[in-house]
Amino acid sequence: MQTIQVGQLKAEFSSILEKVQNFGETYIIEYGKKHKKVAMLVPYEDKRKPRIFGMHQGKCTIAANFDDECDEINDMFYGLKK
Name the residue ranges covered by the structural domains of the chain.
2-41
For 3-21, what is each residue's pLDDT tens digit? 999 999 999 999 999 999 9
Q: Are 27 and 9 in contact (CB under 8 A)?
A: yes
pLDDT value of position 79? 84
Single pTM value for the model: 0.57
Classify 2-41 by CATH class.
alpha beta
pLDDT value of position 73? 87
Cα–Cα nearest to 20, from 33, 9, 32: 9
